[in-house]
Amino acid sequence: MEMANIAKLAKNSSIELSNFDSNKKNTILDNIAKEIEKNINLILKVNSEDIEQSKKDGLSMPLLKRLSFNEEKIKTVIQGIKNLIELDDPVGKTKLSTELDKGLELYQVTCPIGLIGVIFESRPDALVQISTLCLKSGNSVILKGGREATKTNKLLTEIIKNASIKSGAPENWIFNLETREDVHSLLKLDKYIDLIIPRGSNEFVKFIMDNSKIPVLGHADGICHCYIDEFADINMALDITDDSKTQYVAVCNALETLLVNEKIAKDFLPKLNEKLTNKNVKLIGCEKTQKIISCEKASDNDWSTEYLDYILSIKIISNIDEAIEHINNYGSGHTDSIVTSDKSSASRFMNYVDSGNVFWNCSTRFSDGFVYGLGAEVGISTNKIHSRGPVGLEGLIIYKYKLIGTGQIIKDYSNKNFTHKKLNKTIDF
Amino acid sequence: MEMANIAKLAKNSSIELSNFDSNKKNTILDNIAKEIEKNINLILKVNSEDIEQSKKDGLSMPLLKRLSFNEEKIKTVIQGIKNLIELDDPVGKTKLSTELDKGLELYQVTCPIGLIGVIFESRPDALVQISTLCLKSGNSVILKGGREATKTNKLLTEIIKNASIKSGAPENWIFNLETREDVHSLLKLDKYIDLIIPRGSNEFVKFIMDNSKIPVLGHADGICHCYIDEFADINMALDITDDSKTQYVAVCNALETLLVNEKIAKDFLPKLNEKLTNKNVKLIGCEKTQKIISCEKASDNDWSTEYLDYILSIKIISNIDEAIEHINNYGSGHTDSIVTSDKSSASRFMNYVDSGNVFWNCSTRFSDGFVYGLGAEVGISTNKIHSRGPVGLEGLIIYKYKLIGTGQIIKDYSNKNFTHKKLNKTIDF
């Protein structure tokens, strides 16, 4: 089928889906969970074919790990769907109600965005999470997963599609794309597609942003900082730096640049050096850092590099405002943490650092939709409109204004005021 | 000054401004209102120079009217600033607070978007409204108004800038651009500018959308519909159609296409024909319409044309679902109204029409920020993310997540659950 056709069908289904009540959507989600459970063996078999092929193609071990959809992971996504069923339906909430005049009432009511295109990496669990999040929030979705997972993704989409249609979902609320050419066509369809959520490498996300008029929700870079203030507890600072950097180096919320206040640097850096060198982290530092510990010299380029590796750049700064300025200048607005026992420093840092997630005395690694209790996430946004930070159900919602009159025309209000009385009413249909 | 420099300075000021409390911002707004009042005579003089020049350039009467910034209009914007002072500050509101674990608390707190670029038509009152809305919401703003208002805009920006700096505003929170080349440079500065709000002609808005990576909030087309249901009160339908079409034809919320249920068409259309022909409205109808009243034949193109003129296209449809489908297919997601006495039809229309503003038994012309009681508006959005419909203070706000810990690292949570307890707490710094 042509891409424009697919998008048109999916868009039409989104209008239908946007009017499903919670029970209907939860019944569908329950059926999806059951059908995935029923088909575990088939999923394992097909996934092992993808893995075999990828091994032949020389895929690296970490990528093979992400591609693998073993029984434990399948059970986790099934549990995820069950959790999603428990979550509040974000659709149809009256956010504002105002009487404009007697018999003229305005309601702002939440509704789904419409049709969402999600392009994601080779993790089959992501397909299930994203599509069920879209369903619960009343959105249609067009998915394109990593090439390596082609067979698994195709099967999973079929299972989800069949299970959902059987329990009443509109026929075309979900599509799975298989080729890169399809993605290129997709990016042109701003008439039908309301939002693109790309996940994956920086280059890829930037490519999407550069090549589509459709709004993009996502993040290209995750250049996260820790700032070790002069009033930091040294042991806490060591643990937080270590965890932020090494607990999982390949993720977007891992630490890339450490900023250290000069008043604590001599005490802190040698201890950090010992701790991280033991974990094979390569340190790259500014000149002042090099005077305290032996390390490679950082270039200006290092401050804007997302290593996603066992590498940490370190800069000694003279006060908190210099730290804030550095982060706002070189950071990517993702996640930045301050370690300090001084509340006013923490406050200043959290208020002046212009990032989606600003932390005090904890690891940057907490920046995550599951951790935040959003139920699940479609990704983390460094956008500054619509959604910021981890994006869950609420991030897939917009609103419409409903105005209910009794024949009013604007002409009559040239000499008449609006009442603008808050109603605190919920719209009843 | 180079545009990148201007944008960088404005961005830096936005961080400072984002931390101003309500009192501080209201004091600044109050001072701006006073300084505008003090300078009324100078403003009138400079505005008359712009008008003289535009008359020489042959500007049309309606445009000259919009350009004119007379005493009455100046008093209205001053009153507008006073109203804005009374409005709730949208910044710093805790929208969500969750305990992730003992001593690990997450807050979602509203904050300004940052630096906003607004490109608007030749209405000097728009400059005052937009810049004060940005100030109240804590955003820096770069403005580019219509060429015809160059001198007036320059003076108004100077007055606003000086008045605000004198009362404590950061030096570079507002800039006024004067050339089209500046706008072209602006569109490239996605590193600094967080949002572009274009107002003006369709072509211009589309040009902006096509030529920038920066998110755009606005609307290109305003193709608004009225649907006259079979259960409509004929007199109400006549008044609403007339008002929606003729009360002000040049605005985006004016009616462009009328959809009429075939069961009421024979009764309704001759009366409408009489009413609108008296007002020199040209009617363009589908074949079925032509069998009832004499009018030009509509082409497919008419259904997607925003006339902004005394022209109305009319289509007879056989049921409400056909009306919904027509609107979702040809409309622009702006404002659509149903006239009916049947609640279930109204409900179906309002839930299935995918537009920012859906109305029942009232004129499309009510779609406006002042009418809605938003205080003021920077524009009307047909986007489906961030803001939809009239955009006031809330539309210039996003949020950040603040996480406050006591040394927590993610490693410890591989075998430990998060508590995810709702706190209903407000962050206190």
Q: How confident is the model at residue B199, as a pLDDT?
A: 86
Distance CA A322, CA B103 (A): 28
Distance CA A144, CA A117 (A): 8
Burial of B124 per CB tally in 10 Å (0-12, 13-18, 19+): buried
Q: How many CB pairs under 8 A join A and B?
A: 221
pLDDT exceeds cutoff 80 at B375 = no
Q: How confident is the model at residue A207, as a pLDDT?
A: 87
pLDDT exceeds cutoff 90 at A288 = yes
Q: Residue range A399-406: average pLDDT?
A: 96
CA-based nearest residue in chain A for residue B360: A404
Query: What part of B 90-149 touches A (C-beta under 8 Å)?
Result: 98, 100, 104, 106, 113-114
A15 to chain B nearest CA, in Å?
6
* Residue carrying structure tokens 């038994």: B361
Query: What part of A 218-247 touches B (C-beta under 8 Å)?
Result: 233, 236, 239-240, 242-244, 247
B154 to chain A nearest CA, in Å?
29
Q: Residue range A268-294: average pLDDT?
A: 97
- Interval A217-241: pLDDT, tens: 988 789 999 999 999 999 999 999 9
Q: Residue range B348-364: average pLDDT?
A: 97
Residues with Cβ within 8 Å of A160's Cβ and at least 6 positions away in sequence, in order, are A32, A35, A36, A128, A131, A132, A174
Q: Do A233 and B366 touch (CB under 8 A)?
A: no
Q: Do B401 and A409 touch (CB under 8 A)?
A: no
Helix axes B22-38, B40-56, angle to 10 degrees: 70
Residues of chain B with C-beta less than 8 angstroms from the C-beta of A15: 328, 352, 354
Under the banding of pLDDT at 50, 70 and 90, the label for residue B231 is very high
Distance CA A56, CA A383 (A): 38
- Interval B254-274: pLDDT, tens: 999 999 999 999 999 999 999
Q: Residue range B371-392: average pLDDT?
A: 90
Q: How far apart are the first and last CA of chain A?
A: 37
Q: Residue range B40-62: average pLDDT?
A: 95
Q: How confident is the model at residue B233, as a pLDDT?
A: 98
> Residue A186 corresponds to which tokens in the numbers above?
């997709």
Q: How confident is the model at residue B61, as a pLDDT?
A: 86
Residues of chain B with C-beta less than 8 angstroms from the C-beta of A215: 215, 383, 385
* Residue carrying structure tokens 């209405």: B123
- Interval A91-115: pLDDT, tens: 999 999 999 999 999 999 999 999 9
Question: Residue A400 forms beta bridges with which residues?
Answer: A109
Q: Do A366 and B410 touch (CB under 8 A)?
A: yes
Q: Do B388 and A410 touch (CB under 8 A)?
A: no
- Interval A355-372: pLDDT, tens: 999 999 999 999 999 899
Residues with Cβ within 8 Å of B17's Cβ and at least 6 positions away in sequence, in order, are B112, B135, B138, B139, B140, B169, B170, B173
Q: How confident is the model at residue B152, as a pLDDT?
A: 97
Q: Residue range B402-428: average pLDDT?
A: 93
Q: Give the 3-state DSSP-derived string for B111-160, with helices as H, strands as E and coil as C.
A: EECCEEEEECCCCHHHHHHHHHHHHHCCCEEEEECCHHHHHHHHHHHHHH
Interface test with A, best of B116, B409, B414, B415 (most A CBs within 10 A): B409
CA-based nearest residue in chain A for residue B386: A386
What average pLDDT does chain A have? 95
Under the banding of pLDDT at 50, 70 and 90, the label for residue A350 is very high
Residue B217 in contact with partner chain A when CB distance is under 8 A: yes
Identify the DSSP state of A277. H
pLDDT exceeds cutoff 90 at B429 = no
Stretch among A202-206, B229-233, B267-271 having the lowest mean pLDDT: A202-206
A414 to chain B nearest CA, in Å?
11
Identify the DSSP state of A145. -
Report the range out of A121-125, B127-131, B377-381 with the highest average pLDDT.
B127-131
B144 to chain A nearest CA, in Å?
21
Distance CA B95, CA B196 (A): 25
Under the banding of pLDDT at 50, 70 and 90, the label for residue B77 is very high
**Amino acid letter at B131?**
S
Q: Do A403 and B362 touch (CB under 8 A)?
A: yes
Q: Residue range A18-23: average pLDDT?
A: 97
Under the banding of pLDDT at 50, 70 and 90, the label for residue B221 is confident
Confirm if A404 and B358 have CB atoms less than 8 A apart.
no
pLDDT exceeds cutoff 80 at A31 = yes
What average pLDDT does chain B have? 95
Percentage above 90 pLDDT, chain A: 88
pTM (2 d.p.): 0.94
Q: How confident is the model at residue B168, as a pLDDT?
A: 97
A285 to chain B nearest CA, in Å?
24
Q: How confident is the model at residue A221, as a pLDDT?
A: 85
Residues of chain A with C-beta less than 8 angstroms from the C-beta of B346: 404, 429
Distance CA A316, CA B12 (A): 22
Q: Do A359 and B104 touch (CB under 8 A)?
A: no
Stretch among A88-92, B216-220, B320-324, B347-351 having the lowest mean pLDDT: B216-220
Q: How confident is the model at residue B398, as a pLDDT?
A: 96
Distance CA B349, CA B362 (A): 14
> Residue A259 corresponds to which tokens in the numbers above?
């900023």
**Interior/surface letters A142-166, b for 16+ CB within 10 angstroms, e for the rest:** bbbbbebbbbbbbbbbebbbebbbe
Query: What part of A 13-42 touches B (C-beta under 8 Å)?
Result: 15, 18-19
Q: Do A385 and B215 touch (CB under 8 A)?
A: yes
Q: How confident is the model at residue A55, as a pLDDT?
A: 95
pLDDT exceeds cutoff 90 at B327 = yes
ipTM of the complex: 0.94
- Interval A101-150: pLDDT, tens: 999 999 999 999 999 999 988 889 999 999 999 999 999 999 999 999 99
Q: Residue range B36-50: average pLDDT?
A: 98
Helix axes B234-246, B262-277, angle to 10 degrees: 50
